[in-house]
Structure 1
Amino acid sequence: LSAPRVVVMAAAREELGAGRRRRLPAARALQLAGEVLAVAAGLKPALLYDCGAGGLAELRRYVDRLREAGLAPGRLHLLGMEGSALLLHPGLARRRLEAALRAHPAPFMDVSAGRQRPALCGPAEAEAIRGHLAALLAHLGATEATATGPVSSSEVDPAGWNLCTVVGVLLGYPAAYAFAAEEGTQNCLALTPLRVFTVQASCPRIRDGLRVQIYSFSIPESLCAELEEPLGAWRDGLKEAFSAQSDFVDLRISSEVVSLPAVAL
């Protein structure tokens, strides 16, 4: 085993999944490490990790192990939000929030179950979401101002927020889904043609031949024309960031249209 791969596997085995019956499978451990490197390299603003009972402390120990081995350098921030943890590239995450706040039309897609078909959020819905994003941006700014080490952490109370939308923006998606909170997680995407975008790259830094999925998100095909500008900006920004880093090679951006009997958000 190559040295980075040994470190990655040991860190996942020893730090993640405490109290669970099964540790992370090897393929998932390699993928997670690749995603951490993608965040650190500025290829995406954040990754979402279901940390279970371990909370932020578990993910913090794991990230520290990678950093001790020389992987994932630079400033990182761990954000706890209603039982989940996000690992953020602080500067990129703030810029992503700022871009979403400035964008017109707002890149939020209303897929509430009561709708016949997806549509961009109306002015009132978009303004409410902007309020949530502005609150999160203020939280991250205050946290960054008082951060003392290379890895900081904080928790935010997302009461009243549409987490699907906020997390979608943080993860760097060019457009994020939104739905009426009173409808739970139900949506109108069943059997709707969705264009699924996938981004992969090779990460020889961890292991030769390792392909890491950096992005995977969908946009209703019927909204792609209206969202052409944010999609183009996302694609251009990703290519620019890719050319500025050295951990990944062979960037592939692909898309396909699918229709599914049910879509979970």
Structure 2
Amino acid sequence: MKATPFVEDAIYHAPEVVALRQDLALALRAAAHQGLGEGVCNHFSIALPGDHGLFLLNPRGLMWSEVKADDIVIVDGLGNRIAGRHEVEPTAMFIHAAVHNIAGKHCVLHTHMPYATALTLTEDCGLDTTLSQNAMRFHGRIAMDHEYNGLALAPEEGERIAHAMNGSDIVFLGNHGVVVCGERIDHAYDDLYYLERACQSQVLASSTGRTLKPVNPDLAARVASQMQGERVQSELFFAALRRTLGEPV
């Protein structure tokens, strides 16, 4: 769909949307810098403020390391490109639109990051949140979708993933990857980064062949509550990424 002057001027260039485009581009560049990307695949999105039914999405065909704020596109819930100069990758729409619209998530980050994806290949399908301290922050926040149905090339696949979340912030997709959601880009990105770190620790510990030592689930729940109750560290981390990587304008 060709962008109208009204959408282009009133929405795409509105100050709050420019700030969101900059933050989304920063998250993508940070993910590339920290080894969480995969070629030109996978997508980050965030709903626009207000009741527009629109969201920002990284475009098709660009490496995450090269994405700038002006590369981000606006799409509607049907996958129509409303504003922006790049095309949209179909599987992004089928997954992200459903998670936004059905699961009611504001920021949606989907990756095939290595260690989290490795755990989706196991019978358990995901992270044990009673192991490392990093894992405990996710206790009670994770869903597992054990059924892999191939590429998300139809709305039904995204809808199935959204329903499998069942209110959780994070879903491990069997034989596929992960989806991490949040109300803010900085909070969601912080979760994405530390989720991969937690998965890395579990994979490395398992590779020793030695017996793993989980903590009591009540303790894991307490640690999760402590970390969710104070997210300043997430905001400081994102600010540090902005300083070190530069503003993606």
TM bin (shorter chain): 0.3 to 0.5
Structure 1 length normalisation: TM-score? 0.37
Structure 2 length normalisation: TM-score? 0.39
Counting strand residues as a fraction of each chain, which structure ranks higher? Answer: 1
Counting helix residues as a fraction of each chain, which structure ranks higher? Answer: 2
